[in-house]
Amino acid sequence: MLEFLNDNIISLITPILLILSGLYFSIRLKFFYIRHPVKIIRSMLKRQKKDGISPFRAVTLALAGTLGVGNIAGVASSIAIGGFGSVFWMWISALVAMVLKYAEITLAIKHRRTDSATGEHHGGASYYIYDHFAKNGKKIFGKTLATVFALLCIVNAITMGCVIQSNAVSTSFEGVMNIKPWIIGAIVALLCVIVISGNARWISSFSEKTVPIMTLGYIVLSLAVLAARRELIGDAFAAIFNSAFTLRSAAGGVAGFGISRALKAGTMRGLMSNEAGCGTAPTAHAAAETDSPAKQGFWGIFEVFVDTILLCTLTALVIIVASLGGSQSILLYKENPMMMTIKAYSSVLGGWSEYFMTISVLLFAFATMICWAHYGKESILYITKKRPFTVAYILIYCLFIFIGALTAPKLAWLAADLALGIMTIINLTVLFLMSDEVVEETDKFFGRGR
């Protein structure tokens, strides 16, 4: 049932809606992110007041949620499903989704709430969904839709943010070091309990220290592979573009593109990686101390660039050059995308890189688990402020970390795709309805002439 819904409804509607929404906001905002790069970068580098969570801390927390299995196993899964051409559609989804992430973060800052006792900010898609409909006299509908969104976010936290990440870690350690999955599951679950029991400042402090280091390490390893196979880089790009427009069992035109396996796989895995447009990252950004919603929104554009344009592209190129260079055997791991990626690196750099990649998977996945645990906690807080529910959520979340280490993740991928797709449809619809507010905040920063 889940597979049918994903293949015939969600993965058909979501790519088209993402592209159309991205084009709509790009036109309404006059492509400001292309026309004013210097001003945007200057505003991002400008020092903010030190109290609370800095804008950079907020973005590292959000990046912790995106820089995970989506960059490693997700890219391999996309190639396995849609071929090399799916990478092209990852790029397209990222380029059009940049402005969507800007829009949703801008709204999250504008509609967040501040705890009078602790001074902490709480916000996200559920808050601006409710505010929009409440403002238009539809409080009950707004509350219902916002609660549904929060529940879907909790489902996605447990599947994509928990089970899939945990399984990727246990698969890596078992495949490379022959360590039993239950051992890895127990250790990671225990570490998660310790970290996620803290507040947003504690969690963001953890991400601020780990995300830049693990990102740099992954970039260096990927560049080493590409340097060793530099003669195949041109062929890799040719393979991407040549297969991007090959429609499998589809008629031509827009409908054909809508059901192309390459487009669906690339867009859905790109969305799962950078989360642009689905309404999750605003939860992290809402905690930032900033004097302008638009300024914090710029960090969302930066996020998508780092996650998809940079890291996902590096992963994809490594897999493609490895396969073109005589290591076609890596494509035999289609049922195990994590090992496909690891073998792609080791086929070029040697066995030692498998250990490096295993540790990288652990760090990426653990950071993602922490961030998604935070998203789930914030969703629980939106629904109810009663502490027992938050405690129960943390315990259930960590239990699923252990379960995820032991079970095949196919059902979790299907549930995550469905939840993420529905969240995206809800969020993009509300973003469209609230587009005037996004334009207003953008004009406040750039001026009406832009």
* Confidence category of residue 24, pLDDT binned at 50, 70, 90: very high
Give the per-residue pLDDT at 250. Answer: 31
* Confidence category of residue 388, pLDDT binned at 50, 70, 90: confident
* Confidence category of residue 276, pLDDT binned at 50, 70, 90: confident
Give the per-residue pLDDT at 2. Answer: 61
What's the number of domains the chain is made of? Answer: 1
Q: Is residue 331 part of a domain?
A: yes
Q: What is the largest CA-CA distance in the chain?
A: 63
Could you read off the pLDDT of 122-176 as tens digits, one per residue?
Answer: 889 999 999 999 999 999 999 999 999 999 999 999 988 888 889 888 988 988 8
Give the per-residue pLDDT at 261. Answer: 47
Q: Is residue 44 part of a domain?
A: no
**Long-range contacts, stretch 32-35, CB < 8 angstroms, 24+ apart:** 32/442, 32/446, 32/450, 33/98, 33/99, 33/102, 33/298, 33/301, 35/450
pLDDT at 82 over 60: yes
Give the per-residue pLDDT at 437. Answer: 95
pLDDT at 49 over 80: no
Mean pLDDT for 86-94 is 80
CA-only gyration radius of the chain, Å: 21
Could you read off the pLDDT of 170-206 as tens digits, one per residue?
Answer: 988 988 888 999 999 999 998 888 877 765 566 666 6
Q: Is residue 441 part of a domain?
A: no
Q: Is residue 37 part of a domain?
A: no
* Confidence category of residue 256, pLDDT binned at 50, 70, 90: very low
Q: Is residue 46 part of a domain?
A: no
Residue-range definition of the domain harbouring residue 400: 2-29+55-113+122-436
Token pair 């302008």: residue = 292
* Confidence category of residue 69, pLDDT binned at 50, 70, 90: low
* Confidence category of residue 52, pLDDT binned at 50, 70, 90: low
Torsion of CA 138, 140, 144, 145, to 10 degrees: 0
CATH code assigned at 412: 1.20.1740.10
Could you read off the pLDDT of 412-449 as tens digits, one per residue?
Answer: 777 887 888 899 999 999 999 999 999 999 998 887 65
Give the per-residue pLDDT at 291. Answer: 78
Q: Is residue 409 part of a domain?
A: yes
User: Which one has a higher pLDDT value, 396 or 326?
Assistant: 396
Q: Is residue 269 part of a domain?
A: yes
Between CA 416 and CA 75 the distance in angstroms is 16
pLDDT at 62 over 80: no
Give the per-residue pLDDT at 53. Answer: 56
Could you read off the pLDDT of 214-225 as tens digits, one per residue?
Answer: 778 888 899 999
Give the per-residue pLDDT at 327. Answer: 63
- The mean of the pLDDT values for the chain is 80
Q: Is residue 50 part of a domain?
A: no
User: Which one has a higher pLDDT value, 320 or 216?
Assistant: 320
Give the per-residue pLDDT at 36. Answer: 81
* Confidence category of residue 255, pLDDT binned at 50, 70, 90: very low
Give the per-residue pLDDT at 14. Answer: 79
* Confidence category of residue 85, pLDDT binned at 50, 70, 90: confident
